[in-house]
Amino acid sequence: MRESIRRRLERLCDRYEEVGRLLSDPELQGRSDRFRELSMEYARIEPVAQRFNAFTGLERDARLTSEMANDADPEMRMLIADEQRALAEQISAEEEALQRLLIPKDPHDDGNIFLEIRAGAGGDEAAIFAGDLFRMYSRYADAQGWKTEILSESRGEHGGYREVISRIVGQGAYSRLKFESGTHRVQRVPATEAQGRIHTSTCTVAILPELDQVEDVPIADSDLRVDTYRSSGAGGQHVNKTDSAVRLTHLPTGIVVECQDERSQHKNRSRAMSLLKAKLLQAERDRQASQQAATRKLQVGTGDRSERIRTYNFPQGRLTDHRVELTLYKLEDIVGGDLDAVLIPLAREYEAEQLAALE
């Protein structure tokens, strides 16, 4: 284990013992806020401290076993060698698990998301590709047991979407999909192409965490313009008879959101407000990130062909994620919703970056 990681773990164990002593102080139990704060800290660091103590126990066992490696009995030496190999495997696995536990947890990882897909360069083919991407994410969500709700949509003339905004509800949706933000590029022969030429089109994808009430972003009434209009989506007799759809404009930033999925104007406004707050929080997080680093791997670009995080090459059946230099020749499976082959390497790369930052 790297010395810098070990020192961090040792400091955390010292803090664990210190917090335990503080919690046992009778005087503290009368101060509910401080007691609650320390209790939360204790619960957060307890799994790491206990695992590190177990890890150091394995290291002691390995040292003792090593001292016995020169036993005169050949049979005993073989048994000791087997024990050494087993301990080495355990130590390696525990070291990896400890490093993962040290990575700061994103508070939104377990929560729901807003998924936005917009057609970029490429005209009708870009809109069709946006529809393909939405179907890919919807099928992945279904496989995870999550629920997908369309909040607003603008359909393309020849299929797909010029823009589609949806909400995905499910445990861990943000942790799985948060690295999907960016420009996605497709290379294929469109159905409308008579001469069989390959076209390149793009879409931008944005993943925004849905906020908990405790994270509420304050929005002054004077900063908000509210417009209502008639829903243009499916809805039987209800369509175009009441102004149930809602559009919110945040005047200081110019951010506009809308929702027309629900039949109730009140529900649409609530959904739109939740999306607006998510956008404002993301804008603030992006601002802070840009101050901390000159470059960011995960960002939504302009949708220009030269910007991309991923390429979907249909003639070759190839998917390439340019951030982690990942190439897979199982494109049909991936666009069919089998996304883990892409998502897992992205998560591992993120963990590696976080561990490097810890050092």
In this chain, the answer to whether the domains covering 113-214+308-356 and 217-289 adopt an identical fold is no
**Beta carbons of 277 and 217 less than 8 angstroms apart:** yes
d(CA 355, CA 85): 26
pLDDT at position 170 over 60: yes
Q: Which residues contact 230 (CB under 8 A, 6 or more apart)?
A: 239, 240, 241, 242, 243, 244, 245
Q: Report the range of poorest mean pLDDT among 180-184, 265-269, 315-319.
A: 265-269
Give CB contacts under 8 A, 24+ apart, made by 227-231.
Answer: 228/265, 231/260, 231/263
Tell me the per-residue pLDDT of 38-78, one tens digit each, with 9 for 90 and over. 888 899 899 999 999 999 999 999 998 888 887 778 888 88
- Cα 255 to its chain centre, rounded Å, is 22
Q: What pLDDT, on a 0 to 100 scale, did the predictor assign at position 216?
A: 65
Confidence class of residue 286 from pLDDT cuts 50, 70 and 90? confident
pLDDT at position 298 over 50: no
Beta strand spans in 236-346 (E)? 245-250, 255-259, 310-313, 318-321, 326-328
217-289: CATH topology: Double Stranded RNA Binding Domain (3.30.160)
Confidence class of residue 299 from pLDDT cuts 50, 70 and 90? very low
Tell me the per-residue pLDDT of 110-144, one tens digit each, with 9 for 90 and over. 899 999 999 999 899 999 999 999 999 999 999 99
pLDDT at position 236 over 60: no
- Residue-range domain boundaries for the chain: 3-102, 113-214+308-356, 217-289
Q: What percent of the chain has pLDDT over 70?
A: 88
- Cα 287 to its chain centre, rounded Å, is 18
Tokens of 340: 């883990």
**Beta carbons of 158 and 104 less than 8 angstroms apart:** no
pLDDT at position 190 over 50: yes
For 58, how many CA atoms within 13 A lie in the half-sphere containing its CB? 20
> What mean pLDDT is reported for the chain?
85
Instruction: Give the full edge-to-edge strand order of the sheet including 326-328.
Output: 147-155, 161-169, 113-119, 199-209, 182-188, 310-313, 318-321, 326-328
Q: What pLDDT, on a 0 to 100 scale, did the predictor assign at position 289?
A: 60
Tell me the per-residue pLDDT of 18-40, one tens digit each, with 9 for 90 and over. 999 888 888 776 677 888 888 88
Q: What pLDDT, on a 0 to 100 scale, did the predictor assign at position 99?
A: 83
**Dihedral, 142, 147, 151, 157 alpha carbons, nearest 10:** 20
Q: What pLDDT, on a 0 to 100 scale, did the predictor assign at position 307?
A: 61
Q: What pLDDT, on a 0 to 100 scale, did the predictor assign at position 302?
A: 44
Q: What pLDDT, on a 0 to 100 scale, did the predictor assign at position 359?
A: 63
Tell me the per-residue pLDDT of 259-269, one tens digit each, with 9 for 90 and over. 887 678 888 88
Please give the average per-residue pLDDT across 321-333, as a whole number: 94
Q: What pLDDT, on a 0 to 100 scale, did the predictor assign at position 100?
A: 81
d(CA 248, CA 271): 11
Encode 156-169 in three state secondary structure.
CCCCCEEEEEEEEE
Q: What pLDDT, on a 0 to 100 scale, did the predictor assign at position 304?
A: 47
3-state helix, strand, coil in the chain (%, to 5): 50, 20, 30
Angle at 190 between CA 188 and CA 194, to 5 degrees: 120
Count other C-beta atoms under 10 Å from residue 148's C-beta.
18
CATH number of 113-214+308-356: 3.30.70.1660
